[in-house]
Structure 1
Amino acid sequence: MAEVKIGYLLPTRDQAVRGDDDPALMIALARHAETLGFDSVWAGDSPLTRPRVDPLLLLSAVAVAARRLTLGTAVLLPALRHPILLAHQLASLDRIAGGRLIVGMGGGFPNAGTEAQFDTIGVPFRSRVSRLEESIEAMRRLWSGEGGSFTGRHFDFRDVTLAPMPARPAGPPIWLAGSGEPALRRVARLADGWLPYPPAVTDYARERAAIGRMAARPVTSALYATVSLDDDPAKARVLLRRSVERYYNAPLEAVAKIQAMFAGRPSDAAEWLNAYIRAGARHVIIRSAADDHHAALEKVAGQVLPLLHLHGHP
C-alpha cells in the first residue's frame, strides 16, 4: 500500500492581503507544521496578480529552519522566468534543502488578472503553455550535466554549465497542475507528479486513471484542497467565503466551481479528504481558510489528520 503524505500551504497570500509583510511569520508556521507532524510545506507564486513573498526565497529559509519537511511550490509559473535562471535557482534550493524540493508548476489560470501579469512582465500570455513545456525540457537538460544546450521556439542557448547542480542527478521532481485532456496529456508526457484541485472526486478518479493509461513512468497523484473548519458548518462557510474572496478577489461560488473546497466539521473534512485518498491521492496539500493560521494548523493536525487513511489503498 502506498503511504499518503500530508502537506500544508503556507498562507503567503493571506498574509499579504492582510497587510503583514514579515516572512518570519511564515517560517514560524513551517516550523509549527513540522512539529505537528506534517510531511511538507508549500508556497504559491504570483508576483503581480496575487502578490506575496517570493516562494523560492521563502522556501530556502524554511529549508534551514525545518530540516525534515519536504518543500514544494504550489504552484510556480515558470513561463515568467528564463529557464537558465530558474534552473539555477531550483538547483541551488534543492542543494540547500538536501534534495527535499518538489517543483509544482502551472501555466497560469486564464483570466484577466493573469493575462495582465504576463503582459506587464513582457511575456506573451498566449505562449505560456509552450513556454512551460520548453522550460521543463531545458531545465532537465541543464540539470543532467550532459551539456546544457537547447533549441526551441522560445529559448535557444549553447554550452551552459550550472553550479551547483541539484542534489539529485535528474533534478527535483516536477509536478504539473491542470485538468482536462490537454493538461492530462502534458502531465503524462512531462511530469513526475500531478497536482490538481478538482471539486468532484469522481473527476479526480477519472483523470487520474487517464494519466495512468497515458504515462510511460510512474506519476505521483497529489491534491490541492482548501478546508475551513468549525463545529458549526455555517460559521465555517462564512470563514471560507471571507478567505477565498480575499485571496482571489472573486466570488466564492465562481472559485468553488473549479477548486476542491470544504467547509464544516473536522470529522466531515476528514471524510471528504478520505474520498480523494480512496480515489488515489497520495500527497494531499491542505490550504486552511482561516484568520488564525497557527490555531487552524493545530485543528487540522489534531482533529483531521488522525482520521485520514494515510496508508491509502493499492
Structure 2
Amino acid sequence: MVNFGINVNNREPLITKKYSIPDMFHMGAEAENLGFDSVWVGDSLLEKPRLDPIATLAVLADRTKKVKLGTACMVTPLRNPIQFGQAWATLDMFSEGRMILGACMAAADDDRGKLQYEVVGLDPRKRSAIFNEHIEVMKMLWKDGVVNYSGDYFNFENVTFETGNEEVPYTPVQENPPIWVISNPSARGNKAVYSPAIRRIVEVGDGWMTCCRAAQPQEYAAQCEAIDLHAKEQGRDPETIHKSYQVTLHISDSKEKAIKDMEEYVGSYYPTQYYNLNEWGPIGSAEDVIEWIETFADIGCETFIMRFGSFDQLGQMQRFADEVLPAFQ
C-alpha cells in the first residue's frame, strides 16, 4: 500500500497573493481531513526563499493530529547541529512523535546557492562532509542526550541540555527520529560503483527521497536497485530504507491548460532556471496521474509527496483527493 503526502508549499505565499499564509495552514489541516498520510514543507535560505520551515511545522503540529510532518527538504548543514537538534526534538514533542526529517545539502551551482552557505560561514564545496557530520552529531544528541564529538567541522565536548534540575529529559518522543536523505544519485550505469549519495542513503538514512525523474522510471528503478544492493553489502535489510518521491504535478481535463499553468508556476518558483516539465511529474488528467503513480509504485516507491504545479493549491488537492486517492484505497 502506498502513502500520499502533501507539500503545503511554504514558498508560494511569497510568490503570489493568490495563496496566503492562512491558506497554507488550512491546506495542511484539510490534507489530514481528506485522508492524506503526511504534510511537508520545504527549505531554502537564500536560493529560493520561503517561510521558515521550523516555525511553519510548529503551527502545523498544532493544526493536525494524525498526519506525519516532514521537510522536503531541510538544508541541514546551514544550521548548527546542536541548535537544530534541539529544535527538531521540540517539534517531535509538539507533534507527539510525528516528525520525519527529510535532510539534504542543496545544490550550490549558482551564486545564490553558494551564498546561502557563505553567509553562515561555510564553504559550499565542503557541504557533503558537513552534512555527514551534522547528522552524526544530531543522532548522538537524540540518542545519548550528550555530545562528545571531534570532527573536521564540528567539535563538542560534553554538550547536553540536562543541568540536573529537569524532571523530564529533553529528548524526541521517537526513540530514533527518522531521517530521509534527499538526493538524486546516479548509478552511473554500473551498479557496482556507488556514488557518495547512494552510500550516504544507506549508511545514515532511514529513507530516501528524490525528484525530477518523472519521465525516467528506468533510472528510478536503477537507483532503487543500487540502494538495495549496497544495503545488503553493508549487512542492512533493504526493507528498512523507505523509498519516497516528491512529484510536481497538475491535474486538468485540458492538457494544454495544464501545461500552461505548470509553466507559469514553475517559472515563478524557479525564475532563474530552466527545467523540462516532463521531468517534474504527470501533467494531464486524473487517469494520467494514476498511471504515473502506479508505474513508480510498482518499482518500489512507498510514499508520494504531491507538490501541485498550480496557483490553485487547494483546488488541486481537492481534485487529487476526489479523483486519484480512491484508486489506491
Instruction: Tell me the residue number matched to 1:195.
Output: 209
Instruction: Tell me the residue number matched to 2:164.
Output: none
| Aligned match for 2:262, one of 240, 249, 253 | 240
Farther off after superposition, 134-143 or 20-29: 20-29
Give the counterpart letter for 1:273 in structure 2. Answer: I
| Aligned match for 1:212, one of 225, 228, 232 | 228
Instruction: Tell me the residue number matched to 1:167.
Output: 173
Q: d(CA) in 2 for partners of 1:38 and 1:147?
A: 36
Q: d(CA) in 1 for partners of 2:18 and 2:140?
A: 39
Q: d(CA) in 2 for partners of 1:55 and 1:135?
A: 18
Instruction: Tell me the residue number matched to 2:85.
Output: 87
Give the counterpart letter for 1:108 in structure 2. Answer: A
Q: Deviations over 1:177-217 (max 9, x none)?
A: 11222211110111000001123111111101111111224
Q: d(CA) in 2 for partners of 1:44 and 1:90?
A: 15
Q: Deviations over 1:27-51 (max 9, x none)?
A: 1110111111100010000121111
Give the counterpart letter for 1:59 in structure 2. Answer: L
- The structure-2 alpha-carbon separation of the partners of 1:239 and 1:208, relative to structure 1 and needing over 3 Å to count, comes to same
Give the counterpart letter for 2:304 in structure 1. Answer: V
User: In the TM superposition, what are the counterparts of 1:266-285 in structure 2 within 5 Å?
Assistant: 266-285=286-305
| Aligned match for 1:42, one of 36, 40, 43 | 40
Instruction: Tell me the residue number matched to 2:124.
Output: 125
Q: d(CA) in 1 for partners of 2:178 and 2:323?
A: 31
DSSP-derived class of the 2:128 partner: helix
Structure (1 or 2) with the larger CA radius of gyration:
2
Instruction: Tell me the residue number matched to 1:138.
Output: 137
Q: d(CA) in 1 for partners of 2:276 and 2:32?
A: 29
DSSP-derived class of the 1:261 partner: coil
Q: d(CA) in 2 for partners of 1:301 and 1:36?
A: 6
Identity across matched positions, percent:
29
TM-score relative to the length of structure 1: 0.92
Give the counterpart letter for 2:204 in structure 1. Answer: L
Q: d(CA) in 1 for partners of 2:311 and 2:286?
A: 17
Give the counterpart letter for 1:142 in structure 2. Answer: L
Q: Give the CA RMSD over aligned residues.
A: 1.7
Q: d(CA) in 1 for partners of 2:262 and 2:18?
A: 20
Instruction: Tell me the residue number matched to 2:166.
Output: none
The answer to whether the 8 Å contact 1:145/1:161 transfers is no
Shift of 1:24: 2.8
DSSP-derived class of the 2:210 partner: coil
The answer to whether the 8 Å contact 1:64/1:96 transfers is yes
Give the counterpart letter for 1:268 in structure 2. Answer: D
Shift of 1:19: 4.9
The answer to whether the 8 Å contact 2:180/2:205 transfers is yes
Shift of 1:264: 0.8
The answer to whether the 8 Å contact 1:8/1:38 transfers is yes
The answer to whether the 8 Å contact 1:95/1:164 transfers is no
| Aligned match for 1:177, one of 176, 182, 185 | 182
DSSP-derived class of the 2:282 partner: strand
Q: How many residues align?
A: 304
Gaps in structure 1 of 5+ consecutive residues: none
Instruction: Tell me the residue number matched to 1:150.
Output: 149
Q: d(CA) in 2 for partners of 1:143 and 1:251?
A: 38
